[in-house]
Amino acid sequence: MNYQKYRAYPTMNMPNRKWPSNVITKAPKWCSVDLRDGNQALEKPMNLAQKINFFKYLVKIGFKEIEVGFPAASDTEYLFTRTLIEQKLIPDDVIIQVLTQSREHIIKKTFEALNGVKKAVVHLYNSTSKLQRDVVFGKSKQEIIELAVFGANMINDLSNQYGREHFIFEYSPESFTGTEMDYAVEICNAVIDVWKPNNENKVIINLPSTVEMSTPNVYADQIEYIIDNIKNRENILISLHAHNDRGTAVAATELAMLAGADRVEGTLFGNGERTGNADIMNIALNLFSQGIEPMLDFSNINDSIEIYEKSTGLNVHPRHPYAGDLVYTAFSGSHQDAIKKGMKKMEEHPERWEVPYLPIDPLDVGRNYDPIIRINSQSGKGGVSYILENNYGLIIPKNMQQEFGEIVTKVSVEKDNELEPNEIRDLFDKIYINVSTPLKLIYYKEETTQDCVTVYADVSVNGEEKRFTGKGNGVINAFCNAILREFPIKFEIVNYQEHSLDYGHESRAITYVHIHEENQNSYFGAGISKNITKSSLRAVISAVNKLLISKK
């Protein structure tokens, strides 16, 4: 790989930079550019109906500024803008934004498209980077400034003709991150001198990383530099428009917000040219995860995915932050165990979310807890026990969790596939519950005299019915003694647990029994019955059957 043909991007000499010590405390102004940047990047751009549907969805989730297109670029873009205005599809509290180059016929066409709009942002741009100046335009710095000032003056004049009160002005030095910073300040100030912003008519200065060229901290430095040197800062809204060529558009945006930016342009799920734009959903939910009101509603993330995929023809990656099918799912055993314990601990403080490996509660974005833990060959006892408890109400003892977790792992490896919850339950039933070979309990009765209990049990042994009798200090002890009289084995119960499986007077009980053989081998069994004593005896039979089978 010929890395030598590339050069490191220069950093900013800012020893007194302030942004690293700042903290984000509120959401920025959001502007969706899904219908322009996002749409122009699609293999099959959206049709009019899709655009209108997408626009309505953006309004629904809370966007107050939406870039709807470049009206002078095509009849389709022009028609969409006119449709929104003429059919009164723009709510009173929503501002549309349109894009225009600094060219006379394009600016005129843009204002024609906006005729009758209640409020719109007219977004003027021209490229300012050294590379673009030299390679694409062959123009000097001064000529590029003159081009920007020409467009700014023309927008001023036309806005007065159409009603100045209907328009907000925005300027972007496109390819900002490839522009010398002192020159970026100069050209922005030249535009500001034309537009003369005030408290009633603020101007948006949008600073795009049109191509992401550096680490996110450099973008933050650049934003802070502009803020410190731009004219009339109190009447300027500094806007961000980050692209994702290096895969760090979200990080760059967040650091630039620390640097003082007021506004963020981006798209849902980061759609856009090349590797895409900054993902507004991602940034908004990052704020949400820090206890900050994001001012956008992603409480049903599946709706966002549906409108996005249907409109763009693109798919949301299963690992996409907050939205992917697998982002709230753990396969790793240690992760599953931590999540299980965290979910249990949440019962003590439900008002404060603190669960390992889950930065937000899936319920907050319209997901549920069912897929949090899924079982494959990487899973462990914690995940398996979580599935059994949350899906089927089986609260199995810790030592039993360990043994069954290993069994599940082995089966998953053999199948080379994930195990569904019903498969895990079926496996547990088969191995532990009411195991009836070689012994099966048919009938029992008990007699109590002072401190002694006698149990009479009819038991099928490999299909042959026998009567077992045993005495002890309780029913289970007497039953175990009856078994020990009939077979040349030795064991003792080292753990016994039980709980109800259902609610009501006809609820079933499940009992778990852990026995140790004389050589300390462990065997587990479980029994289920509406009669708690019978469930206990069935659990003993299940464990003893496993011991007997091991002797064959």
Q: DSSP letters of 345-401?
A: HGGG-TTS--BTTBSS-GGGGT--STTSB-BSTT--HHHHHHHHHHHH-----HHHH
Provide the token pair at 469: 């009798």
- Would you say residue 113 has pLDDT above 90? yes
| Torsion 101-105-111-115 (CA) sign | negative
At residue 246, the pLDDT reads 97
Task: Note the pLDDT tens digit of each residue in 22-47.
Answer: 999 999 999 999 999 999 999 999 99
Give the Cα separation of 194 and 149 in Å (integer): 7
- Would you say residue 163 has pLDDT above 90? yes
Pairing state of beta strands 29-32 and 167-174? unpaired
Confidence of residue 156 (pLDDT cuts 50, 70, 90): very high
Considering the chain, what percentage of its residues have pLDDT values greater than 90?
84
At residue 245, the pLDDT reads 97
At residue 506, the pLDDT reads 67
Give the Cα separation of 114 and 98 in Å (integer): 9
Give the Cα separation of 447 and 38 in Å (integer): 80
Task: Note the pLDDT tens digit of each residue in 455-488.
Answer: 999 999 999 999 999 999 999 999 999 999 999 9
Domains delineated in the chain: 26-312 (3.20.20.70), 333-432 (no CATH), 439-551 (3.30.160.270)
At residue 379, the pLDDT reads 74
Q: With contact defined as beta carbons under 8 Å apart, do 38 and 70 qualify?
A: no
At residue 298, the pLDDT reads 98
- Would you say residue 503 has pLDDT above 70? no
At residue 369, the pLDDT reads 79
Task: Note the pLDDT tens digit of each residue in 88-97.
Answer: 999 999 999 9
Give the Cα separation of 544 and 552 in Å (integer): 13
Task: Note the pLDDT tens digit of each residue in 376-391.
Answer: 767 777 788 888 988 8
Give the Cα separation of 314 and 41 in Å (integer): 11
At residue 48, the pLDDT reads 95
Task: Note the pLDDT tens digit of each residue in 183-242.
Answer: 999 999 999 999 999 999 999 999 999 999 999 999 999 999 999 999 999 999 999 999
Does the global pTM surpass 0.85? no
At residue 82, the pLDDT reads 98
Mean pLDDT in residue range 496-517:
86
Task: Note the pLDDT tens digit of each residue in 2-25.
Answer: 999 999 999 999 999 999 999 999
Give the Cα separation of 479 and 552 in Å (integer): 23
Q: With contact defined as beta carbons under 8 Å apart, do 95 and 59 qualify?
A: no
Task: Note the pLDDT tens digit of each residue in 317-349.
Answer: 999 999 999 898 877 778 888 888 999 899 999
At residue 333, the pLDDT reads 75
- Would you say residue 505 has pLDDT above 70? no
Task: Note the pLDDT tens digit of each residue in 429-453.
Answer: 999 999 999 999 999 999 998 889 9
Mean pLDDT in residue range 115-135:
95
Give the Cα separation of 178 and 198 in Å (integer): 29
Provide the token pair at 251: 């990080």
Mean pLDDT in residue range 113-121:
98
At residue 383, the pLDDT reads 82
The pLDDT mean for the chain works out to: 94
Give the Cα separation of 253 and 209 in Å (integer): 10
- Would you say residue 53 has pLDDT above 90? yes
Q: Which of 308, 322, 424 is nearest to 363 (CA)?
A: 322
- Would you say residue 519 has pLDDT above 90? no
Provide the token pair at 544: 């003893």
Confidence of residue 504 (pLDDT cuts 50, 70, 90): low
Residue with more model confidence, 247 or 505: 247
Give the Cα separation of 209 and 178 in Å (integer): 8
Give the Cα separation of 192 and 232 in Å (integer): 8
- Would you say residue 516 has pLDDT above 80? yes
